[in-house]
């Protein structure tokens, strides 16, 4: 099944937004496949954002991600990667629509509260990077009420 790696960044944890964010994915109907509060080692943050290593903001971005605990999650379900990106909103919160997570909760691109994988391939890659211990396999009793 398709999975997305979703992460509440340090600003979202400090601001008490974790519950609201988890609740949005739960209520949408996606299945939680992993969850933890985590102080990110610098090498993991660097690996996660390695495609942006040449950008001028890369160092600030890595410093931001390691500046406090994050909440790491994997969510599973049909179309979860693209749908999570819609729920999260545009990278720059001033361009994010109201109703999206960034649109509702953020102002600056360097404090944009949440990460979501940008492709199913990166969903798999990032889930493996952040959950080296593996995901949780479980059956959701409400599944017949979510899937036709
Ligand atoms: P993620 O879900 O975090 O990957 O964000 P994204 O996919 O919407 O954007 P992208 O992968 O292009 O950039 C990763 C992160 O780098 C963004 O979420 C921002 O926190 C940060 N970032 C991107 N562009 C800028 C920028 O121009 N300035 C600064 N300071 N940070 C940026
Ligand atoms: Mg990205």
Does ligand 1 have an atom closer than 6 angstroms to the CB of 102? no
Does ligand 1 have an atom closer than 6 angstroms to the CB of 115? yes
144 C-alpha vs ligand 1 centroid, how far in Å?
A: 37
Which residue out of 10, 71, 73, 115 is catalytically annotated? 115
Active-site annotation holds for 115: yes
Kindly report the pTM of this predicted structure.
Answer: 0.97
Does ligand 1 have an atom closer than 6 angstroms to the CB of 109? yes
Residue nearest to atom 12 of ligand 1 (CA): 91
pLDDT confidence of residue 96 = 98
The ipTM, to two decimals, is 0.95
* pLDDT tens sequence across 96-148: 999 999 999 999 999 999 999 999 999 999 999 999 999 999 999 999 999 99
pLDDT confidence of residue 30 = 98
Task: Name the percent of the chain lying above pLDDT 70.
Answer: 100
pLDDT confidence of residue 106 = 98
Residue 118, SS3?
coil
Name the nearest CA neighbour of 131 among 14, 49, 38, 63. Answer: 38
Q: Are 10 and 69 in contact (CB under 8 A)?
A: yes
In CATH, what number does 3-145 get?
3.30.70.141
């Amino acid at each position: 099944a398709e999975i997305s790696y979703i992460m509440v960044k340090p600003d979202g944890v400090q601001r008490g937004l974790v519950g609201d964010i988890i609740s949005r994915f739960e209520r949408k109907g996606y299945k939680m496949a992993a969850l933890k509060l985590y102080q990110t080692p610098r090498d993991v943050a660097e690996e996660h954002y390695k495609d942006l290593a040449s950008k001028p903001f890369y160092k600030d971005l890595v410093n931001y991600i390691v500046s406090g605990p994050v909440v790491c999650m994997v969510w599973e379900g049909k179309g979860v990667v693209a749908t999570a990106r819609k729920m999260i909103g545009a990278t720059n919160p001033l361009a994010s629509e109201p109703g999206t997570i960034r649109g509702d909760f953020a102002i600056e691109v360097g404090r944009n509260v949440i990460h979501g994988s940008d492709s199913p391939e990166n969903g798999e890659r990032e889930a493996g990077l952040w959950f080296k211990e593996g995901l949780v396999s479980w059956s959701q009793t409400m599944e017949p009420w979510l899937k036709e």
